[in-house]
Amino acid sequence: MNYVDLFRVVLPETALEIAALLVLIVDLGFLRRAAAKARIAAAALVGVLGCAAALWAVYAARNNGLGVMGSHSLMAWGIAPAAQIAILVLTALTLLLLIDSEFTRNPGEYVAVVLMAAAGGLIIAAAQDLLVIFVGLELLSLGLYILTAFAKKCGKSAEAAMKYYLFGGMSAAFLLFGFSYFYGLTGTTSLAGIRTTVCQLGPAPLFYVAWILVIAGLGFKVAAVPFHLWAPDTYEGAPAPAAAFIASVSKVASFALLLTFFGGTFFSIRGQDLSANHVDHLFSQYMGSWTHVIEVMLVVAVATMIVGNLAALAQSSVRRLLAYSAIAHAGYILLGVCPLPHVSPVPQSAGMGAVLQSLISHQLPVLYYIVTYGLTAIGAFGVVGVVERVTGSDKLDSFVGLQKRNPLLAAVLLVLFLSLAGIPPLVGFWAKFNLFAAVLAVGAGPVPFALVALAIAFSAVSLYYYLQVLKRAYVMPATDETPIKAHPVTLAVLLLIAAAVVVLGCFPALLQNWIASFYA
């Protein structure tokens, strides 16, 4: 592969990096003396244009046929482009939220870091090679640490960033350690190669060590219990647009990566000529090495659901509440990520179509969930950011009487929180519905059923804490009736998100078909 091909494969990432440099040039070179508002607007605009360019590049890569060819380290098929497009759109939305905020005097640097972190997200959403994964992950993580600390005048922001950094560094070390085991055992860094070797070797104790280390590392990224401790502090301390970025873009990228790790189950022998017996043998070998990993993942998922939901009940800060709710949602998604539904082998006679179908039915609900969750989370942080800027706090009580102080903002909050609670016809309901149906669909035994029952029971619990916020916004009489003013752009973005949540919820097939189209 020559450099021109390489350039074409990583065109979206390159577009983002160029945009990041452009932002710096525009902001530091031309607008140094301009008013803060103008600088923020210009930086956000250039950032959004960069995202648009990268979007175009992703689409172009698909249409040029590059998608099918791709490369061994970056996939441009299936979940990868869908997640990349979602990452770019969500990044653009978080950049637009910046326009209304005043936590920083260096908007150019902020936007540049956001774009670079997003580039890291694009890489891990598509990566098929341990080294590429690690590079992408570090690019994303380092960006997130900086973004968390970006409110330089705020002690909380610095504290949160320090905690996030220390936990993050530790988890990166775990991950790298796990990767090194994989390399040592199989002699390759490509995921496909590792899978093939696992198939041939069968279960080996050291694989479990490697898997546990990787789960610890990736569990940190998605805030799974017991690696979740950074989340509440970070969500609370980070500036609102940065928190929205962490809650959405970083989550989408990390779950896409988890799917690459756990979703490829039997896909690696695609295209190889093997007899049915041989395949069965390979499959049993492969599954043998999986069972315990799945058990660990399930324990993590259940713990995440329980801790997230129960801890959220006791929060008095809306940001912390959102953090625990994010943990709870991560628990639901992890149920879907677990390869549990695919324990049963795809019938060999069914051929490639059935393999593809099983892959889609595994990955689609997870991607659907995380994309819609990311969208909702951005909106939620947008509302929190506006309220916080006016009232000076994100406590539950600062939302009292919001319907009187800004009816539109309250309506957006209503839609988004009900969607998070999973009330139809909002999109959050379909996300949960698809996911739980997918978990039940293939492995119809007592275990999947019990897991889904638990998840549904906890989403009933979650209604309580979402209603706590809505109660303050709608039920309690306002103590302070001064209107809360939001910047028109912010309001437009929030209304757009709320409208998307409603429309995608009323027509759930839209998003499903869109994601499925990437598997064609």
With CB under 8 A as the contact rule, which of the stretches 28-36, 165-173, 321-329, 417-425 interacts with another protein?
417-425
User: Which residue in 70, 203, 345, 425 binds another protein (CB under 8 A)?
Assistant: 425
Neighbours of 170 (CB within 10 A): 14
Residue closer to another protein (CB basis): 103 or 436:
436
Identity of the amino acid at 280:
D
Residue closer to another protein (CB basis): 201 or 478:
478
Residue closer to another protein (CB basis): 179 or 465:
465
User: Which residue in 41, 176, 423, 495 binds another protein (CB under 8 A)?
Assistant: 423
Residue closer to another protein (CB basis): 324 or 436:
436
Residue closer to another protein (CB basis): 222 or 511:
511
With CB under 8 A as the contact rule, which of the stretches 44-52, 172-180, 217-225, 437-445 interacts with another protein?
437-445
Shortest Å distance, C-beta 342 to another protein: 15
- Report the residue count for the chain: 520
Q: Are 412 and 379 in contact (CB under 8 A)?
A: yes
* 499 sits near another protein (criterion: CB under 8 A): no
x/- binding map, residues 289-328, to another protein, per CB under 8 A?
----------------------------------------
Shortest Å distance, C-beta 93 to another protein: 25
What is the rounded distance in angstroms from the CA atom of residue 308 to the CA atom of residue 156?
22
Q: Are 436 and 283 in contact (CB under 8 A)?
A: no
In sequence order, what E strands does 53-186 have?
Answer: none
- Taking alpha carbons only, the member of 177, 293, 288, 303 closest to residue 228 is 303
* 474 sits near another protein (criterion: CB under 8 A): yes
Residue with tokens 């607007």: 41
* 398 sits near another protein (criterion: CB under 8 A): no
- Taking alpha carbons only, the member of 114, 132, 116 closest to residue 124 is 132
Residue 40: burial class (beta carbons within 10 Å; 0-12, 13-18, 19+)? buried
Residue closer to another protein (CB basis): 284 or 513:
513
Residue 446: burial class (beta carbons within 10 Å; 0-12, 13-18, 19+)? exposed
Q: Are 42 and 57 in contact (CB under 8 A)?
A: no
* 408 sits near another protein (criterion: CB under 8 A): no
* 449 sits near another protein (criterion: CB under 8 A): yes
Identity of the amino acid at 278:
H
The token pair at 355 is: 């393999």
Beta bridge partners of 190: 129
Residue with tokens 């990432």: 13
What is the rounded distance in angstroms from the CA atom of residue 240 to the CA atom of residue 245?
9
Q: Are 182 and 130 in contact (CB under 8 A)?
A: yes
The token pair at 74 is: 């970056």
Phi, psi angle pair for 168, to nearest 5°:
-65, -45
x/- binding map, residues 329-358, to another protein, per CB under 8 A?
------------------------------
* 495 sits near another protein (criterion: CB under 8 A): no
Residues 453-472 that bind another protein (CB under 8 A): 453, 456-457, 459-460, 463-464, 467, 471
* 437 sits near another protein (criterion: CB under 8 A): yes
What is the rounded distance in angstroms from the CA atom of residue 108 to the CA atom of residue 54?
19
With CB under 8 A as the contact rule, which of the stretches 152-160, 185-193, 237-245, 425-433 interacts with another protein?
425-433
What is the rounded distance in angstroms from the CA atom of residue 279 to the CA atom of residue 269?
9
Rg, Å, the chain Cα set: 22
With CB under 8 A as the contact rule, which of the stretches 123-131, 271-279, 344-352, 512-520 interacts with another protein?
512-520
* 508 sits near another protein (criterion: CB under 8 A): yes
Shortest Å distance, C-beta 513 to another protein: 8
User: Which residue in 20, 293, 328, 418 binds another protein (CB under 8 A)?
Assistant: 418
Residue closer to another protein (CB basis): 475 or 503:
475
* Binding region for another protein (CB under 8 A): 403, 411, 418, 423-425, 429-430, 433-434, 436-437, 440-441, 444, 449, 452-453, 456-457, 459-460, 463-464, 467, 471, 474-475, 508-509, 512-513, 516
